[in-house]
Amino acid sequence: MPMSSLSAAVLSHMISINNVPPPPLRGIPSLRMSKNIDYGQLNALCHMRGLQHSWTNILSAHNMFIKQYPKIFIQKKMRLPKIVKEEVKRKPAEGAEENKRQQPDDSHNIAVYAKRARGGLTLYGPKKSEEKLAEFMAILKKLPIHRTPSEHNAVWKMLKTIPDLTSQLMDEHLKILSKNVISETWIKGSTVIGNDGFYVILKGLARPQTQVYKSLIEDNESTTSLIPRSFHSFVFSEDFRNAVLTEKHLIPCTSMLGQWSTFGTLDVTAQTESEAKGYAVYAVVTEEDCEILKIPAKNYAKLKSEKAKLENKHKVKLIHKCPYYEEWPTLSIYELVTLIKWKKFPPGHVIVESGNIISFVAYINSGYCKIYRNIVGLSKTQSKKVEKSQKLVYMGRLKEKESFGEISVLLQVPFTCTIITGKDVEMAIIEDKDLF
């Protein structure tokens, strides 16, 4: 007998339901133990003996249960407030604070323990002058190319303590020269000729062999512009100054050169002069084994050459930026650069007054100048009379990278305005005598 369509649909649905797999089993979530219950005390309380025996035992067990029950709850410990003690703190010295801040972890540095065992200071404590000098001489024994930046900095700081250097060299130049200084060892009885550099005695004694000393960096004809500090008690004679040195003149032992004494020059022409004259202008004889620091004169000559190139480049750039010189060829500007001198003026300085001929051409490098013009006007007095009066009227300002004075200098005509500096002004000027 054939089945109806409804029966067939019900039968197929029942078959499909039976083929569906059962849902997957789900685990029971784990219980979190309370942080406020002592489960060890709870377990001991549940297994207490006497709860299932005679009536008297149950009563005693009940009393014991009630007594032990509060112990299953963990009681929070009461913390009393801290008693703050006011301690008088002394302000540490700057040097001690710096040493403490710079002291690294030396727990694995055996040099620290070795120094302590010998009774010395810690490795990072304040150094004595002898230790600094020994460290300084050890650095100078290295070639300049092998020194670390910190060692170069240590040499520079030590050179800044020598007055003969700091009084005549700029700090930036001294820092550059310090990167190429070297140390030389001279045995007793050696003659050290200082015509090719500037020398500083670090260890030992030396006696000057000649009495002629020139400036550290200037190549003028004066012979006594720089005398080492050990020479200050020596008096020069006019006969000796005017005489030609044909033999070596030894200075008495009272003028010995000791530690940190200096001799020599950074003037490169001194070496050629001494070769032409046939004698050493700067020379000492070592009385002991000496360690002598040397700053080569060639390094300073190279430094001056590089400085001159940078300065000329800056001057060319300044003139090229001025409005009237933008179309000038570079070669023509270089002719002006050789005549330029730097000059600074304070604020409120009158550069030129109206009606006067200015004596130089100026190129403003920094700052500005105010321009005023004399105006003649008529004014009435209290007696109703009309009088002429002059007043300075503000016309504008000259800014950086602007020039003035060319027409007045070249044509020799008076200036029609008064120019006054507004603040500190640095100018590159060319004087009229050089321009002509």
- For 269-301, the pLDDT digits (tens) are 766 666 656 556 788 999 999 999 999 989 999
Model pTM? 0.52
Give the neighbor-by-neighbor strand order of the sheet with 283-286: 191-193, 283-286, 206-208
Q: In whole angstroms, what is the distance from residue 405 CA to residue 350 CA?
A: 14
Q: What is the mean pLDDT of the chain?
A: 77
Structure tokens at 376: 């003649």
* Confidence bin at 352 (pLDDT 50/70/90): very high
- In the predicted model, is pLDDT for residue 104 greater than 60? no
Q: Percent of the chain beyond pLDDT 70? A: 70
pLDDT for 7-21, tens place per residue?
Answer: 778 777 777 777 666
Q: What pLDDT, on the 0 to 100 scale, is given for residue 402? A: 93
Phi, psi torsion values for 57, nearest 5 degrees: -65, -35
**Radius of gyration over every alpha carbon of the chain, rounded to an integer in angstroms:** 47
Which range among 66-70, 128-132, 244-248 shows the weakest confidence by mean pLDDT? 244-248
- Read off the pLDDT of each residue in 154-165 and give the average, rounded to a whole number: 90
Q: What pLDDT, on the 0 to 100 scale, is given for residue 378? A: 76
Q: What pLDDT, on the 0 to 100 scale, is given for residue 368? A: 94
* Confidence bin at 235 (pLDDT 50/70/90): very low
Four-CA torsion 204, 184, 275, 304, nearest 10 degrees: -110
Those residues whose C-beta lies under 8 Å from the C-beta of residue 310, and which sit 6 or more positions away, are none
> How many residues are there in the chain?
436
Task: Of 106, 291, 292, give the one whose Cα is nearest residue 197.
Answer: 292
Across-strand partners of 422? none
Distance, C-alpha 339 to centroid of its chain: 34
Q: In whole angstroms, what is the distance from residue 389 CA to residue 372 CA?
A: 16
pLDDT for 370-388, tens place per residue?
Answer: 999 988 877 777 777 878 7
| CA separation, residue 120 to residues 93, 112, 125, 127 (Å) | 22, 9, 10, 11
Place of tokens 């001799």: 263
- In the predicted model, is pLDDT for residue 199 greater than 70? yes
Which range among 13-27, 115-129, 266-280, 397-411 shows the weakest confidence by mean pLDDT? 115-129
Neighbours of 379 (CB within 10 A): 10
Those residues whose C-beta lies under 8 Å from the C-beta of residue 390, and which sit 6 or more positions away, are 374, 375, 376, 377
Q: What pLDDT, on the 0 to 100 scale, is given for residue 272? A: 64
Bigger pLDDT: 101 or 270?
270
Q: What pLDDT, on the 0 to 100 scale, is given for residue 55? A: 54
Say which amino acid occupies 71: K
Cβ–Cβ < 8 Å for 287, 209 = no
